[in-house]
Structure 1
């Protein structure tokens, strides 16, 4: 299990797709995905602590995005989630961003 945990972390840092990472190391991609899912369900490294500075002012909603949710990723990047979003698509985007982190 520790081997797979290390490989999954290494793949995330590599910036490579799972297929390319596995091909380069002679790993079976379906096994990689299965272990990634299994270890992801164990609750490890799921949440990141967020600290809001005491001087932060609440964001003022705009008329066009008043119901939207903005997820700030740092380094000037953010994801704007509009009402009626596709949850499956959002999960895929967040998973891809998590792999790049």
Structure 2
């Protein structure tokens, strides 16, 4: 079964030949309807993407520098302002269970 790239090449050769689809297809050994369909399909999908010719060189590896998520953004504390006017500042890496207890205590109306 011919690939999309092969059909793109066939359609291109047909269009350059100046022959009718019937004559070109008969000469090449396939049906004229296939030429018409592939021409329509290739035009509908946009310009063909040509693949570069295969390289005979061995692949080269480039150096890689791994960047952690923490180094992308400077960690800043989170501030939680409670309705009673108290503010709780939470640094990155906090323990969620401890934060829950602290917020419960800070939300109380009694003085700390």
Q: Please indicate the TM-score interval, normalised by the length of the shorter structure.
A: 0.3 to 0.5
Using CA pairs below 8 Å that are at least 6 residues apart, which structure has the higher relative contact order?
Answer: 1
Which has the higher Rg, Structure 1 or Structure 2? 2
What TM-score does the superposition give when structure 1 sets the normalisation length? 0.42
